[in-house]
Homo-oligomer: A and B are copies of this chain.
């Protein structure tokens, strides 16, 4: 059945015959940067249109070594930062003549049944397997969003001449390029701002322990608190998960006295925390407790949350990721580059601006 379909397809030979030119002339007409006279190209295009012929990009990729496909591996799209980034990545790559082949990493669940992002070590083997599949598609490059890669597989990609960029994650070792926001600097901004605005009992709700974003945001926050001679009053864990963050908020709300501020490692968890504080505990944000998040996703600007948060500069992160990837594809180079782009603290209504 499939073979019949292949045989029925109009080939470049059919077009060549109709146009009265060589098959090679047809191929050159449809290959960017190939040499063919305007007159020949016109005859070929005319014949191709009459026959409804379309060049076979996959066949061409075997000759040129370019599929113009970028493999993108994402672990989940619940956190609104990722669909937004995926849309921007797709649009930007498309404007450069590339397309995104999506691979979803299987989600593992912890004992509480929460969805966990797949950058914990249990999932390393599964991620490596999927990246192997991505390589099978002869992609020109790979972007891993919120996912890490084993050193073995990074080496394998390098051997295959396929550049890999981590998006919104970095990892230790010197074998893989990454583009993130400057999460450490972002954490510092939050700590400094809470100190400046007179908060005395700052709390923190952490993201997924294995994620570089979690580690760097908390490290920056703690550094700023120490510089301001403030002590962390309470620490909870939300694993970048909505339900886990809601549970952490319930524990926090029972403290006496209540923290006067809480920094939460991403906006997605912050929505859960604010909803628990307001609708379960009857607390007011920011009158009873100030709340600051991280990401500045679309919903954060909506009046229902009106969230003070550190903006991840998604446009710049995407532009840098694509630019770096295309450079590595074009030049065949694979120097390891680590970009951390500064993002501003966006002041809205969820954090009080004056001493209580």
Which residue numbers of A lie inside 8 Å of B, CB to CB? 1-6, 8-9, 52, 54-59, 61-62, 64-67, 69, 76-78, 80, 82-84, 86-87, 90-91, 94, 99-104, 132, 135-138, 156, 159-161, 271-272, 274-275, 278-280, 298-299, 302-305, 330-332
Contact present for A138 and B56 (CB under 8 Å)? yes
Residues on B with beta carbons closer than 8 Å to the beta carbon of A99: 101-103, 137
Main secondary structure of the interface of A (DSSP, over half): helix
Asked if B57 and A137 sit within 8 Å, CB to CB, the answer is yes
Query: Judging by beta carbons under 8 Å apart, are A77 and B67 in contact?
Result: no
State the 7 A-B residue pairs at the shortest beta-carbon distance, nearest first. Answer: A2-B65, A83-B83, A279-B303, A6-B65, A275-B303, A5-B161, A77-B83
CB <8 Å contact, A302 and B271: yes
B87 touches A77 (CB 8 A): yes
Among candidates B56, B82, B104, residue contacting A94 with C-beta atoms closer than 8 Å: B104
A61–B58 CB distance below 8 A: yes
In the complex, the count of this chain's copies comes to: 2
In the complex, the answer to whether A56 meets B136 with C-beta atoms within 8 Å is yes
Kindly provide the distance from the CB of A26 to the nearest chain B CB, expressed in whole angstroms: 14
Residues on the B chain within 8 Å of A332, using CB: 1, 4-5
Which of A90, A298, A302, A330 counts the most chain B CB atoms within 10 A?
A302
Q: How far is the CA of A299 from the CA of B163 in the complex (A)?
A: 37
Task: State A100–B83 Cα separation when bound (angstroms).
Answer: 15
In the complex, A280→B306 CA distance in Å?
13
Q: Which of A4, A66, A101, A274 has the most CB of B within 10 A?
A: A101
Q: How far is the CA of A161 from the CA of B271 in the complex (A)?
A: 47
Which of B76, B274, B331 sits near A87, CB closer than 8 Å? B76
New contact pairs (9) apart from A54-B160, A58-B58, CB-CB < 8 Å: A1-B330, A3-B65, A5-B332, A52-B156, A83-B86, A99-B103, A100-B101, A278-B303, A279-B303
